[in-house]
């Protein structure tokens, strides 16, 4: 108990260091990187002194996680209000309901197209590194996870693609505002779009009521955005706690055992990031400036492993730093958290499929196999939210569609957190890329904002 108290005292000191940085008007990026570095250092020291899984580390992380999970919960708290008022406000201000179809179609198209390419990258890196399901050792925990996945697969068998699409529609918008379903985010987007269109129609026929409604939306946006900035000012503290938990709780021996898969995964994720940057450059957007502006978002996605939890910071960065339109920012952040995830739904299932293929007599380089794999990955990525999971559920759907055993996903449980960090960051970057490109195509980008040196939530320097 004494050791745990001493550890927590050190953690409090680190929080004070970040607080002093905030008071000295350090930028959000500097504070985020400081939180990341301190978290890595503190977590590594804890593991070096006590050893992974020891009682002092477990007790310490239980309280450290109050800060980390508490911050993620606050972010989730503001997701639905932010999406609702922002999308309504964007539609009311633009007064062009006809552009909604172009906007959403472009964002979804980019998400799905990049997911298809991500699957091809998964095929490439798996063959490049010679990954095989035969080389993975199966322990008791992995066997239990594999059996659990087999059981979950039975529940997914009756979920059709049509069922997934139907789940996007908001039958009860109030329940969706409470996040009652895996597809609640998309349902709220659709609900907000209907309200916005209705508001535009009312404004055309009854201008006085339209003005009142627009003022109400303006007030709602001002309040919600202030709330968002208040929560985002806590980002460095959240990253410190989350990174401490990841590093202190990681099993180095497990990572070394599956090091080939870890390295191959990150090579694939790096190639996907390069693809995103090439798409931006092709559309006249500076990749270097873009990366500089989105780095705090990617860092948070990396440490939190939550695409949904990153939505507020994602939207804030797109509008305040990249200069994207409100509509593009909200639609891309919302859609990107629930469909077309390049890392979880594109790269990961494809890598597992290629690893399993030789064990059941399939040539992983057979063009027909690759085409069918890419097609299944792309289609299933559109409906991942319909069955409420991430990379594991994407793998379940893809492997079962190819008549492959699904237990392999359970064998990777020991390194799942490590690779999931990179996958989440790539997922979020894919969403921001789709929003940035679409905003550029539709002429909604504020070039002066993108060209400036301001960062998302730059107003947060003083807390």
Q: What is the mean pLDDT of residues 154-167?
A: 63
Instruction: Give the model's pLDDT for residue 125.
Output: 96
253-257, 400-404, 453-457 — most confident range: 400-404
Instruction: Give the model's pLDDT for residue 413.
Output: 66
Residue 379 has pLDDT above 70, yes or no: yes
Cα(156)–Cα(152) distance, rounded to whole angstroms? 7
Q: What is the mean pLDDT of residues 327-334?
A: 90
Q: Measured on CA atoms in the order 211, 321, 310, 9, is the torsion positive or negative?
A: negative
Residue 6 has pLDDT above 60, yes or no: yes
Instruction: Give the model's pLDDT for residue 225.
Output: 84
Instruction: Give the model's pLDDT for residue 98.
Output: 67
Instruction: Give the model's pLDDT for residue 127.
Output: 93
335-358 pLDDT tens trace: 888 788 999 889 999 999 999 888
Cα(169)–Cα(155) distance, rounded to whole angstroms? 22
181-221 pLDDT tens trace: 777 888 888 999 899 889 989 998 999 998 999 999 999 98
Instruction: Give the model's pLDDT for residue 67.
Output: 94
CB neighbour list of residue 424: distance below 8 Å, 6 or more residues apart: 301, 302, 304, 305, 306, 307, 310, 343, 344
pLDDT confidence band for 381 (50 / 70 / 90): confident
Residue 382 has pLDDT above 90, yes or no: no
Instruction: Give the model's pLDDT for residue 144.
Output: 47
Cα(352)–Cα(364) distance, rounded to whole angstroms? 11
Cα(233)–Cα(235) distance, rounded to whole angstroms? 6
DSSP reduced 3-state for 63: helix
What's the predicted TM-score (pTM) here? 0.81
Report whether CATH 1.10.3860.10 matches the domain 2-453. yes
DSSP reduced 3-state for 1: coil
Q: Which is nearest to 191 in space by CA: 88, 106, 108, 273?
A: 88
List the chain domain ranges.
2-453
pLDDT confidence band for 289 (50 / 70 / 90): very high
What phi and psi, each to the nearest 5 degrees, are found at residue 307? -65, -40
Residue 363 has pLDDT above 60, yes or no: yes
pLDDT confidence band for 9 (50 / 70 / 90): very high
Instruction: Give the model's pLDDT for residue 10.
Output: 95
Say if residues 419 and 191 touch (Cβ distance below 8 Å). Answer: no
Q: Measured on CA atoms in the order 254, 351, 295, 86, is the torsion positive or negative?
A: negative
Residue 138 has pLDDT above 90, yes or no: no
Q: What is the mean pLDDT of residues 160-164?
A: 68
Residue 407 has pLDDT above 80, yes or no: no
Q: What is the mean pLDDT of residues 302-331?
A: 89
75-124 pLDDT tens trace: 888 888 988 998 888 888 766 666 788 888 999 999 999 999 999 999 99
Q: Exposed, middle or buried: residue 110 (CB in 10 Å: 0-12, 13-18, 19+)? A: buried
Instruction: Give the model's pLDDT for residue 384.
Output: 59
What average pLDDT does the chain have?
85
Both structure tokens of 342: 């390049």
Q: What is the mean pLDDT of residues 444-455?
A: 86
Cα(451)–Cα(228) distance, rounded to whole angstroms? 24
Instruction: Give the model's pLDDT for residue 140.
Output: 40
Q: Per mean pLDDT, which range of 36-40, 98-102, 254-258, 423-427 is the poorest?
A: 254-258
10-61 pLDDT tens trace: 999 999 999 999 888 888 778 888 998 999 999 999 999 998 788 999 999 9
428-448 pLDDT tens trace: 999 999 999 999 999 999 999
CB neighbours of residue 29 within 10 Å: 18
Q: Higher confidence at residue 156 or residue 251?
A: 251
pLDDT confidence band for 158 (50 / 70 / 90): low
CA angle 288, 229, 291 (to 5 degrees): 10
Instruction: Give the model's pLDDT for residue 25.
Output: 81
pLDDT confidence band for 143 (50 / 70 / 90): very low
Both structure tokens of 40: 């890595």
What's the gap between Cα 414 and its chain centre? Answer: 21
Q: Per mean pLDDT, which range of 165-169, 173-177, 231-235 is the poorest?
A: 165-169
Distances (CA, A) of 74 to 91, 230, 461: 27, 10, 20
Q: Higher confidence at residue 149 or residue 88?
A: 88
Instruction: Give the model's pLDDT for residue 151.
Output: 53
Q: b or e along 45-82 (b: 16 or more beta carbons within 10 Å of the residue's beta carbon)?
A: ebbeebeeeeebbebbbeebbebbeebbebbeebbbbb
CB neighbour list of residue 192: distance below 8 Å, 6 or more residues apart: 83, 84, 85, 86, 87, 88
């Amino acid at each position: 108990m004494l050791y745990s108290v001493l550890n927590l005292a050190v953690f409090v000191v680190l929080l004070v260091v970040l607080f002093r940085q905030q008071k000295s008007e350090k930028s959000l990026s500097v504070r985020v990187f400081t939180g990341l570095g301190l978290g890595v250092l503190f977590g590594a020291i804890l593991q070096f002194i006590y050893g992974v899984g020891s009682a002092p580390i477990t007790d310490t992380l239980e309280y450290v996680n109050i800060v980390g999970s508490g911050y993620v919960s606050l972010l989730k708290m503001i997701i639905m209000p932010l999406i609702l008022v922002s999308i309504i406000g964007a539609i009311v201000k633009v007064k062009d309901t006809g552009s909604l179809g172009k906007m959403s179609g472009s964002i979804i198209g980019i998400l799905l197209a990049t997911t298809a390419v991500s699957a091809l990258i998964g095929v490439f890196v798996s063959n490049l590194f010679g990954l095989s399901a035969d080389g993975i050792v199966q322990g008791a925990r992995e066997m239990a996870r594999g059996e659990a996945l087999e059981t979950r697969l039975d529940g997914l068998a009756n979920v059709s693609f049509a069922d997934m699409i139907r789940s996007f529609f908001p039958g009860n918008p109030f329940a969706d505002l409470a996040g009652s379903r895996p597809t609640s985010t998309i349902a709220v987007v659709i609900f907000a779009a209907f309200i916005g269109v209705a508001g535009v129609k009312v404004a055309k026929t009854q201008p006085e009521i339209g003005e009142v409604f627009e003022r109400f939306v303006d007030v709602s946006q001002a309040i919600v955005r202030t709330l968002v900035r208040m929560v985002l000012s806590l980002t460095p503290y959240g990253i410190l706690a989350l990174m401490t938990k990841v590093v202190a709780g990681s099993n180095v021996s497990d990572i070394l055992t599956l090091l080939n898969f870890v390295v191959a995964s990150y090579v694939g994720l790096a190639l996907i990031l390069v693809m995103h940057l090439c798409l931006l450059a092709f559309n006249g957007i500076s990749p270097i400036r873009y990366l500089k502006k989105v780095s705090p978002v990617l860092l948070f996605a990396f440490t939190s492993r939550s695409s949904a939890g990153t939505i507020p910071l994602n939207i804030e960065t797109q509008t305040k730093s990249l200069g994207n339109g409100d509509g593009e920012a909200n639609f891309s952040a919302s859609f990107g958290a629930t469909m077309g995830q390049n890392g979880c739904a594109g790269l990961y299932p494809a890598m597992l499929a290629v690893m399993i293929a030789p064990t059941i007599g399939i040539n992983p380089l057979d063009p027909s196999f690759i085409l069918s794999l890419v097609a299944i990955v792309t289609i299933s990525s559109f409906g991942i939210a319909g069955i409420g999971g991430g990379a594991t559920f994407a793998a379940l759907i893809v492997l079962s569609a190819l008549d492959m055993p699904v237990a392999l996903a359970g064998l990777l449980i020991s390194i799942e957190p490590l690779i999931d960090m990179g996958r989440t960051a790539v997922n979020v970057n894919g969403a921001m890329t789709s929003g940035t490109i679409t905003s550029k195509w539709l002429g909604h980008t504020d070039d002066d904002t993108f060209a400036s040196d301001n960062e998302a939530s730059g107003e947060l320097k003083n807390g």
